[in-house]
Structure 1
């Protein structure tokens, strides 16, 4: 009997990538002194673009 991981929808996987990178970019920008509002907007836009990229081109 071979145990394997359950199948995860590609959209869910793309969303997880986007959330991880959003948090990484947001906290990284705040850590280096960028204001929270600017860091949030840049991380939000970047997270959305990462979501689209992984959704369309990821495996």
Structure 2
């Protein structure tokens, strides 16, 4: 029986989805509180792009640190 694993998704795709989701959230929230549609769309688009950049640049986990190897003792 094989073990189920989640699919591997590229970091750029994940960053895009974060930006898209929060940009749409800001757009819909702005419209809900009375901001005009065009202004809300521009604010949501700019915020979504900035969120995409922030997640893309700072959101990736680095490779795990490898323990330092001790130098071999001279024999």
Asked if these proteins are the same fold (TM beyond 0.5), I'd say yes
Higher relative contact order (CA 8 A, sep 6+): 1
Unaligned runs of 5+ in 1: none
Question: Hey, which bits of structure 1, 4+ residues long, moved more than 2 A?
Answer: none
> Which structure is higher in helix share?
1
Question: Any unmatched runs of 5+ in structure 2?
Answer: 61-75
- Normalising by structure 1, what TM-score? 0.94
What is the alpha-carbon distance in structure 1 between the residues aligned to residue 24 and residue 42 of structure 2? 12
RMSD: 0.7
- Using the size of structure 2 for normalisation, the TM-score is 0.75
Higher-Rg member (1/2): 2
